[in-house]
Structure 1
Amino acid sequence: MFLYLPNKFDFIQEMKRIILFAIAIMTVGFANAQGTGSRFGIKAGVNFPNSSSDFHENETLMGYQVGIFSEIKTDENFGIQPELLYSTHGVKNKFVSDGISYDNEVKLSYLNLPILAKYFVTQGLTLQAGPQVGFLMKAEENGVNITDHVKTIDFGLNFGIGFNFLEDCSVDLRYNLGLSNALDFHVEDVNYKIKSSMFSLAIGYKL
């Protein structure tokens, strides 16, 4: 179980999150303005976590994602797609200390900024890969705020495929490989960690 302590710097942290959000928005806006092959759109989907942890038992919780993207074609076969997504997921876990079993339900929310390279196999089918940085927006354990005990930045790598249909619509199936420990805390002499990896299925619409 996490020990929650009130954060004296909540206001400063919130301002940092707002600044990061603004930087991400400007990045997407700048990308959208480049080249004649640019398309701007919105997307939404579901997340299926596949987290790894040091807990004795681990059960993941589905989440969702919603946001905006810009598809920038550099030529007939290649493109770049920056996105700005609000994404949620969670995990149920159990660990034992001094013979006592603890059950936790942790829910995490991030503002994710993936930047994907896209290869157009055909006009409709694409292969996608690229890095992702996530900024923590909210973290709860059993309904209690634990933001102070979760790392504020998360890194990952995305791999996936996409299919364009009806000219303006697309569907993406991806796997995000978590590279950093989202949670990192100690119970006596034992260190528990969780890496957030997940599959996602999302539908996009180009405006």
Structure 2
Amino acid sequence: MRKILFTLFMVAASASYIAAQSLPSSAEMKKQMDEYKPKLGLKVGYNWSYITGNAEGLKKDNNTGFMIGAFYAPASKGMGYRSEIIFSRQGYTFDNGGKNTDVQNDYIYLPQLTTFTIAKVFQLQAGAQIGYLLKSRTTTNSKDSTVTDLMNRFDYGFVGGVEIFPFKGLLVGGRYNLGLGKLYKKMYSSPSPFPLPFDPEKTDFKNGMVQLYVGYRF
């Protein structure tokens, strides 16, 4: 009986030792938990924007602006998902009778992206987004005119880009935004001076933009 009890004790002790040896250390467990923790982040960057499409007599050019945003990314390895909210100041410039005029549009965008991470330091991103126009204005010689009523409030399109993670939570990225929604919706009919040298109703302008940004993942 003693031999049986001693044998059972040795078997149990051996199993406990093997199990303890197979358990990861506290440092390894913390590393694994960090890898599977959802990522929240902030980013800020530079916009290089323009519009696609043409109008008779319009000499248009690109414009610059800025973006600021936040994102949430569920934990994943390889293929994953990211949801963002972005404030974006963008637009274009045109020659209005020899006067340089800026059109500045402020949007809130909600990109929904599929991501693919390579070696934990490089990420490809692609997806779609919808946007809501907060306001639009033209600026000529420091004089502003509101043109929000001419604009379609909702925008939509595709986005794609890359991000690099140099160290810790720092990120550096670039993205291209291709708008599919028509910019303008109706003809201007106010008695005040006409703010645009074309009939908005007869155009098919759409947004286009390149973004460069830096950010941090928590």
Bin for the TM-score computed over the shorter chain: 0.7 to 0.9
The answer to whether the 8 Å contact 1:168/1:206 transfers is yes
Equivalent positions of 1:57-72 (< 5 A) are 57-72=59-74
1:183–1:190 Cα change, 3 Å = closer
Measure the CA separation in 2 of the matches of 1:176 and 1:121. 23
1:62–1:188 Cα change, 3 Å = closer
Cα distance, 1:121 vs structure 2: 2.0
Measure the CA separation in 1 of the matches of 2:186 and 2:174. 32
Residues 143-169 of structure 1: per-residue CA shift (max 9 Å, x gap): 111111111110010011111122201
Cα distance, 1:111 vs structure 2: 0.7
Matched to 2:215, the amino acid is G
Matched to 2:169, the amino acid is D
Matched to 1:40, the amino acid is L
Show the counterpart of 2:78. 77
The answer to whether the 8 Å contact 1:136/1:153 transfers is yes
Measure the CA separation in 2 of the matches of 1:125 and 1:70. 17
Q: 1:199 aligns with which of 202, 210, 214?
A: 210
Matched to 2:41, the amino acid is G
Identify unmatched segments of 5+ residues in structure 1: 1-34
The answer to whether the 8 Å contact 2:113/2:127 transfers is yes
Work out whether 1:131 is the aligned partner of 2:128.
yes
User: Larger helix proportion, structure 1 or 2?
Assistant: 2
The answer to whether the 8 Å contact 2:184/2:201 transfers is no
Show the counterpart of 1:180. 181
Cα distance, 1:105 vs structure 2: 2.3
Matched to 2:183, the amino acid is A
1:101–1:50 Cα change, 3 Å = closer
1:183–1:120 Cα change, 3 Å = same
SS at match of 1:148: helix
Larger Rg: 2
Measure the CA separation in 1 of the matches of 2:114 and 2:70. 16
Residues paired across the two proteins, number: 168
Identity, in percent, stands at 24
Residues 15-36 of structure 1: per-residue CA shift (max 9 Å, x gap): xxxxxxxxxxxxxxxxxxxx94
1:42–1:188 Cα change, 3 Å = closer
1:157–1:41 Cα change, 3 Å = same
Matched to 2:51, the amino acid is S
4+ runs of 1 displaced by more than 3 Å?
100-104, 184-190
Show the counterpart of 1:32. none
Q: What's the RMSD between the two structures over aligned residues?
A: 2.3
1:189–1:60 Cα change, 3 Å = closer
SS at match of 1:54: coil
